[in-house]
Every structure is written in C-alpha cells, then in structure tokens.
C-alpha cells in the first residue's frame, strides 16, 4: 500500500511561482514512477509531469514544458513540482500519483497506469 500527501498549493498572481510537495510512504515497488496530474473544473484529469524514481528520468506535458520542474528527494521520499511563470490556465486541483515502473516507460502515464492518488491540492492563478 502507498500513501501520498500533497502540500504547497495556494493562490498566486499570473507570472508567480509555487512549489508542490508530495510525501510518499509504502511499498517502493508501487511508486517507481511518480507523477503530477491536474484537473480543472469541467475538464478531464491530465498528466503534467512524471519522474522515474530510479533513473530520475523526467517527462512533461507540452503545456508546462520549460515552466514546471519535477524533482525528488529520495532521502525524504518526497517528490516536488516547481511551477514558475504560472498562467490562469494552470488553475486546477493538482494530484500526486504513483505507479509501477511501466507507468514511466513512455511519456506521461495514463490514469489507468496509476495505482495510488493523493488527496489533491488546489492551485489558483489569477
């Protein structure tokens, strides 16, 4: 079993920055791939970024490439999402997600490849 606890959301003006954190616990095998998804009202949940925890390999959605950075601190079992140059269209509930290694084998993982979700943290950009 894996538990994911997010923090760091909030409200910010356009052009500002936020850093989300996701503290993970539980079986390592089930969280070899860590990702951030987001869901805006009335829209599908979409992948934003992912990191393979073994290799550190990362992948980003085109919409956030160059503005967002996913990283990890293995000693703290924590994954971060640094969000810079935020835009109003980045407004959404952000979810931390964990999956096995196959979830990171290509691009961004699909929702079906995710085994565990955090509770979500709201990001509002005005």
Cβ count within 10 A of residue 115: 17
CA separation for the pair 67, 84 (Å, rounded)? 5
Whole-Å CA distances, 12 to 30, 88, 124? 33, 9, 6
CA separation for the pair 14, 115 (Å, rounded)? 33
Two structure tokens written together for 12:
């910010």
Q: What is the DSSP letter of 83?
A: E
pLDDT digits (tens), the chain, 126 positions: 889 999 999 999 999 999 999 999 887 766 899 999 999 999 999 999 999 999 999 999 999 999 999 999 989 999 999 999 999 999 999 999 999 999 999 899 999 999 999 999 999 999
């Amino acid at each position: 079993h894996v538990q994911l606890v997010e923090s760091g959301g909030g409200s910010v003006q356009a052009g500002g920055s936020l850093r989300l954190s996701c503290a993970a616990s539980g079986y390592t095998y089930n969280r070899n791939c860590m990702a951030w998804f987001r869901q805006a009202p009335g829209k599908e949940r979409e992948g934003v970024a992912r990191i393979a925890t073994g290799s550190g390999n990362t992948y980003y959605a085109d919409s956030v490439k160059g503005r967002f950075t996913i990283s990890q601190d293995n000693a703290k079992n924590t994954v971060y999402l640094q969000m810079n140059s935020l835009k109003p269209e980045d407004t959404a509930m952000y979810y931390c997600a964990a999956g096995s290694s196959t979830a990171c084998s290509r691009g961004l993982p699909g929702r079906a490849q995710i085994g565990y979700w955090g509770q979500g943290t709201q990001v509002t950009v005005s």
